[in-house]
Amino acid sequence: MSTITEDRSRQAESPFADPEFRETLRGLPPSAKLVAKVLDDTPPLSQGQLAEESLLPDRTVRYALTRLEEASLVDSRYSFRDARKQVYFLVV
């Protein structure tokens, strides 16, 4: 029973529940939508981790992240584990 409650509270926190977020995402390419969904499931992730999780090529992930950042749907920060890498997360 607690799993159902956790799932519901997680869905409420998801930016995908926001109609404005969904409308902005609707105009983006499929790769950006996939990357956004992966970030919704397991944030924050590096570009390499996103490529592994989404099964997209690195170049496609870079393009998707650029488009998501331009639309102000994704932001980044330096990783706490490795300051040379940036990790990406959805803007709620």
The span from the CA of 52 to the CA of 46, in Å, is 10
Query: Is residue 2 over pLDDT 90?
Result: no
50-to-6, 19, 32, 69, 79 alpha-carbon distances in Å: 24, 24, 11, 15, 14
Report how many domains make up the chain: 1
Asked if the bond preceding 44 is cis, omega within 30° of 0, the reply is: yes
Condensed to tens digits (0 to 9), the pLDDT of residues 16-59 reads: 999 999 999 999 999 999 999 999 998 899 999 999 999 999 99
Domain range spanning residue 73?
2-90
Read off the CATH number of the domain in which 12 is found. 1.10.10.10
Q: What is the mean pLDDT of residues 45-74?
A: 96
pLDDT at 73: 95
Higher-confidence residue: 92 or 78?
A: 78
CA pseudo-torsion sign 39, 45, 51, 52: negative
> What's the predicted TM-score (pTM) here?
0.82
Please say whether the beta carbons of 85 and 44 come within 8 A.
no
pLDDT at 12: 53
